[in-house]
């Protein structure tokens, strides 16, 4: 694929290799030659195996677990490509780690999301392509362009074909907390369904106490929508409340980023949730396999975004 005199090349770190390969296949390309590993002392080792001089380069790497290792891989790859005279470098970060550290919640707290944004820029990235930042205003942390893809259109397109969504009158989209109401409302509009909210109180980090259900879910099938599932406490306790307090008949869940840390898999397995639909912005590890989890690929939308950026075409059409 050649446009405006340059050549496009895709490089992938170790964080989401399968997604990178699927993107390359969609673009009728192969991933470029790059060795990403570690030296004996644990330092990140990167070797670019082909020329990139003047090329439009895309580095595909989620900064998911192990977050610091994957972040260093991304930074070192960008630096190597910059020093090899790449024409333009786009950091494709399906899941942007540290995004939740976007403000000072207490005195003397760091704003680590801003620090990471500065590191990516300083390493030599010319633009960033990502999906569903935990707080959209994180785009302002970067001094370079950020293309921010949305997960709801991908999820809704895949979910609307499923049997449990056949009767929309008996279906309710549920936000697991107040912070996700906007995202849940978008899903409800796309699926032509009603909206409910789980009102909760969080006494301390990763501990949730459900108070009540705002909206009518009695006798309904519920679809909970969130941007990420981390320890799964919010989503599983919310699902239980929808059954016990709200009187829902069935509960499903979906999210963009399956972080799935700590007791998440155990909680999901034991929960009342029928199915959990996740996008593959984070590659599921072998210990994350669970019968209730079903992946939906984001390779097509990221491949289309890469193609648009390379050809200097609008990316905004993908927001629909």
- Here the tokens at position 234 are 């919010």
Residue 255: which region, alpha, beta or left (left: phi > 0; alpha: psi -120 to 50)? beta
Active site residues: 200
Report how far apart, in Å, the C-alpha atoms of 252 and of each of 155, 221, 236, 239, 292 are. Answer: 13, 8, 10, 8, 10
Report how far apart, in Å, the C-alpha atoms of 1 and of each of 5, 79, 84, 164 are. Answer: 10, 24, 21, 41
Q: Return the axis-axis angle of helices 299-310 and 17-26, rounded to nearest 10°.
A: 60
Spatial distance between the Cα atoms of 154 and 19, rounded to a whole number of angstroms: 15
207 bridge partner residues: 204
Residues 6 or more apart whose Cβ sits within 8 Å of residue 303: 22, 23, 26, 27
Cis check for the bond before 66: say yes or no (omega within 30 of 0).
yes
């Amino acid at each position: 694929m050649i446009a405006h005199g340059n050549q496009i090349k895709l490089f992938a770190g170790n964080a989401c290799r399968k997604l990178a390969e699927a993107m390359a296949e969609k673009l009728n390309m192969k991933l470029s030659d790059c060795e990403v590993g570690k030296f004996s002392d644990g330092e990140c080792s990167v070797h670019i195996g082909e020329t990139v001089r003047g090329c439009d380069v895309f580095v595909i790497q989620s900064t998911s677990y192990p977050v610091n290792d994957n972040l260093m891989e991304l930074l070192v790859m960008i630096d190597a490509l910059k020093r090899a005279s790449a024409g333009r470098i786009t950091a494709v970060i399906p899941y942007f780690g540290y995004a939740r550290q976007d403000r000072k919640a207490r005195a003397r707290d760091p704003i680590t999301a801003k620090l990471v944004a500065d590191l990516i820029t300083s390493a030599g990235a010319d633009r960033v392509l990502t999906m569903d930042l935990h707080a959209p205003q994180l785009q302002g942390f970067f001094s370079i362009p950020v293309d921010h893809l949305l997960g709801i259109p991908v999820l809704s397109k895949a979910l609307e074909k499923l049997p449990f969504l056949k009767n929309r009158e008996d279906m309710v989209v549920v936000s697991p907390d107040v912070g996700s109401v906007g995202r849940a409302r978008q899903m409800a509009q796309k699926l032509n369904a009603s909206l409910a909210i789980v009102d909760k109180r969080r006494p301390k980090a990763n501990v949730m106490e459900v108070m009540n259900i705002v909206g009518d879910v009695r006798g309904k099938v519920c679809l909970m929508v969130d941007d990420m599932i981390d320890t799964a406490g919010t989503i599983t306790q919310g699902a239980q409340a929808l059954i016990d307090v709200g009187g829902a008949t069935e509960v499903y869940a979906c999210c963009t980023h399956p972080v799935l840390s700590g007791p998440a898999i155990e909680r999901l397995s034991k929960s009342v949730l029928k199915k959990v639909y996740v996008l593959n912005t984070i590659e599921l590890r072998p210990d994350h396999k669970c019968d209730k989890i079903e992946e939906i690929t984001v390779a097509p939308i990221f491949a289309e975004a890469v193609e648009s950026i390379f050809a200097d075409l609008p990316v905004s059409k993908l927001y629909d």
